[in-house]
Amino acid sequence: MYTNGYIFRYAAIMVIIAAALLSLAAVLLKPFQERNMAIEKMGGILASAEVEGVETANTIELFNRFVVEELVVDKDGNAAPYKDGKMEDGPAFKIDMKKELYKKSKGEAFHLPIYLINKDGKTVYVLPLRGTGLWGPIWGNIALKEDFNTVVGVTFDHKGETPGLGAEITTAAFCDQFVGKTIFGDDGHFMSIMVVKGGAQKLPQNMQIHGVDAISGGTITSDGVNAMIKDVLSAYLPYIKKQRAQ
């Protein structure tokens, strides 16, 4: 018969051993997890620019091939370029969007990344996005043509939106609507891209070039995408306006 003291000591030792093994596993797996997250991030950037043939095995190689320059942009639209090295090692790629957008919300200085992709001899500008959906963070990328107005493509992802509803932001049916839309009006006024409940056809005819259909049954997530695009593009606006003025 084991005494209570023996049982407690045995249980305590087993808990300590299990905790140590879990901690060790977490430490050993962290580099692999970070690498997978980086590959997923690269894939989203490439996909928004409509780069084809991107798979997990070749994402890093394609990222370093197609991304010809990275920019770190400040709140005044000044840009620091990086193009002499692996793009995955560039300062723009290391930027934490969550932290930088929090700084923006507090009125502090912030820095955001832009990726320049050479596709078919033309430059595509990829601007990362981050916002809030129904159940947590949402994020993505929006790629613009050299006119800094016309959308080449977008990607979106999420942490916990409802399957079949808000999670539909990741689907081609939703994302493909953005292709060819514009973020500026004919008068040069910033319009963003509006995610419209009930469909973009509810907008006036001259405004439909700035709108896409919201997700049926995913109103809050759609509103989150709408706010994310407007808020983050507004942060990039000083840089974009400088480029459009050239």
Domain positions in the chain are 68-245
For residue 15, what pLDDT is reported?
A: 78
- Whose CA is closest to 184, among 172, 176, 193? 193
Confidence band of 13 (pLDDT split at 50, 70, 90): confident
Angstrom distance (rounded) from CA 245 to CA 110: 23
- pLDDT tens by residue, 185-222: 999 999 999 999 999 999 999 999 999 999 999 999 99
Q: What is the mean pLDDT of residues 136-163?
A: 96
29 pLDDT band, cuts 50/70/90, is: low
Mention every residue, 6+ apart, whose C-beta is less than 8 A from residue 69: 81, 82, 83, 115, 116
Counting DSSP H helices and E strands in the chain, the numbers are: 5, 8
Please say if the pLDDT value at position 4 is more than 70: no
Report how far Cα 198 is from the mean position of its chain's Cα atoms.
25
Whole-number pLDDT of residue 204 = 94
pTM of the model: 0.87
